[in-house]
Amino acid sequence: MSPIALPTQHAAVLHGAKDLRLEDRTLWPPHQGQAQVAVMATGLCGSDLHYYAHGRNGDFVVQAPLVLGHEAAGIVTAVGPGVKHLVPGQRVAIEAGIMCNNCSYCAKGRYNLCKNMRFCSSAKTFPHADGTLQERMNHPAHVLHPLPDNCTFEQAALAEPLSVLLHAARRAELTPTSRSSVLVFGVGAIGLLACALAKSYGASRVVAIDINQTRLDFALKNGFAQQVYCLPAKDKAKTTDDALRQAKENIAAALTEFDMPDGFDIVFECTGAEPCIQMSIHAAVTGGKVMLVGMGARNVTLPLSAAATREVDIHGSFRYAHTYPTALALLASGKLPNIENIITHRLPLKDTARAFELLARGRDDEGNMVIKVMVGSQ
């Protein structure tokens, strides 16, 4: 028996595919270098949904009960020994990746590639690190970022997916002075953020392609994209050659529609779907860049000579590094108008399973589109 009864808190805990339980857990005080945060908002992500639906995300299989969630913000409730820059009551965004600060990648500032990264809500490492779908969590203070005064908890939760795009934009050398033309494949939450970021950077053109007209209408109506194109439904190609030819024809039609026959300076591929990755190479202008942001098909056949002979650079982009302060400042600045509109549904922690089912369906009971679901503390 402990002489001191420690408080408890609720957590939404995944035990296996579609087996999510609201549990009472002991709330331990923060250790050296940690702060305790009352989580106020968590945005649900596609990777969380994979874990919920299948008990795995690609190669990473849930081996022990795991708390999901990694797009979050909250209020500091306690600080551990040695924490100087945070005080109880302070509002913070939670950066979920805990880097080692000891490997060659961390030394180069590319901590997103850290060999010893522990990412909260990911089953990549074991023991797993729990995520943010809990009332309170202890987290290293050096990856807690103070919020600007006029940044809400929900906006701060969007700093995580926005960081993915800030990092991709840096790799693509998209800057406020580059005046680049930008094409985005896929207008889910990540694609919409790609459009919003490009627009805030003063891109000369921002257009989007998807297979879902409703989502494209949303992107237009909210001013994220200036023009959109819905890919026509076609029978699946029977051979690799057919698929490559179809991709080239489809994107040629889209470029004609956009009146950009030579292509776009930067293409953000946010679907992970093989046909879109193939199209993105033809969609880039000669000397342009393709940013692979979406995670999906693992092995893809590419029209590589069309990239090589036209010097189209294909860049991988994984998570983010040193982006949070920029992301939070941008969210607070008002330079991403209508960005909160991508949050289409809000549910309390006790309804986390329902939140995941909603995200999986893509539409609610009234037929409204689901883009970003936010789980609150109550």
Longest pairwise C-alpha distance within the chain? 74
| Fold annotation for 171-316 | Rossmann fold (3.40.50)
pLDDT at 245: 96
Q: Give the residues across from 98 on adjacent strands.
A: 118
Residues in the chain, overall count? 378
- Flag whether pLDDT at 331 surpasses 80: yes
Q: Give the residues across from 67 on adjacent strands.
A: 13
pLDDT tens digits, one per residue of 14-55: 999 999 999 999 999 999 999 999 999 999 999 999 999 999
Confidence of residue 295 (pLDDT cuts 50, 70, 90): confident
Confidence of residue 243 (pLDDT cuts 50, 70, 90): very high
**At CB < 8 A and 24+ separation, what contacts does 16-23 make?**
16/55, 16/62, 17/52, 17/53, 17/54, 17/55, 18/52, 18/53, 18/353, 19/55, 20/52, 20/352, 20/353, 20/356, 22/349, 22/350, 22/352
**pTM of structure:** 0.96
pLDDT at 232: 93
CB 174 within 8 A of CB 182: yes
pLDDT at 5: 81
Q: What is the mean pLDDT of the chain?
A: 96
Measured N-to-C along each axis, helices 324-333 and 159-171 cross at an angle, to the nearest 10 degrees, of: 110
pLDDT tens digits, one per residue of 365-378: 999 999 999 999 86
- Flag whether pLDDT at 4 surpasses 80: no
Residue whose tokens read 């987290």: 139
- Flag whether pLDDT at 2 surpasses 60: no
Q: How many CB atoms lie within 10 A of CB 280?
A: 32
**Cα 146 to the chain's mean position, in Å?**
20
Measured N-to-C along each axis, helices 189-200 and 213-221 cross at an angle, to the nearest 10 degrees, of: 30
Structure tokens at 53: 């639906």
pLDDT tens digits, one per residue of 89-130: 999 999 999 999 999 999 999 999 999 999 999 999 999 999
Lowest mean pLDDT among 63-77, 230-244, 260-274: 230-244
CATH number for the domain whose boundaries are 8-146+344-376 = 3.90.180.10
Burial class (CB in 10 A: 0-12, 13-18, 19+), 181: buried
Positions of CATH 3.40.50.720 in the chain: 171-316
Positions of CATH 3.90.180.10 in the chain: 8-146+344-376
pLDDT at 3: 57
Q: Give the residues across from 222 on adjacent strands.
A: none
